[in-house]
Amino acid sequence: MFYGAVVWDPWLIVAQIVCLQCLYYLTLGVFLSILVGTRVSKMSLVYFFDYATVTASTVTGWCVIASIFLSSVAGSENRRLACADLCPSSNGDSDPSISD
């Protein structure tokens, strides 16, 4: 599927978007439960979707900020590894038949 003929496949694009969104929210949930769940008595979806919880004035707000940052880093690392598998490298190992 990935190494065949180059074809524009909208279903594949939608599936990749859905998978990346699921990955982001799963990692965000893990980091929020670890960092924020230990600080609050009841965990809720407010910490996922309400921008008012992202504040630098409380320790819980800093934990929310750290959770968002860590889940973004985890997702970008996954995308970097996926791109490294699919994209030609820039260290001279690319296809020699492609020339300027």
Beta-carbon neighbour count of residue 90 at 10 Å?
A: 7
pTM for this entry: 0.66
Q: Which residues in the chain come in under a pLDDT of 70? A: 1-6, 78-100
Task: Write down the pLDDT at residue 79.
Answer: 63
* 35 domain residue, yes or no: yes
What is the tally of structural domains in the chain?
1
Give me the pLDDT at residue 69, please: 92
Structure tokens belonging to residue 74: 């985890």
92: in domain:
no
96 in a structural domain: no
Instruction: Give dist(CA 45, CA 47) in Å, integer.
Output: 5
Q: Are 70 and 26 in contact (CB under 8 A)?
A: no
Domain assignment of residue 3, yes or no = no
The per-residue pLDDT for range 82-99, each reduced to its tens digit, is: 665 555 555 545 455 555
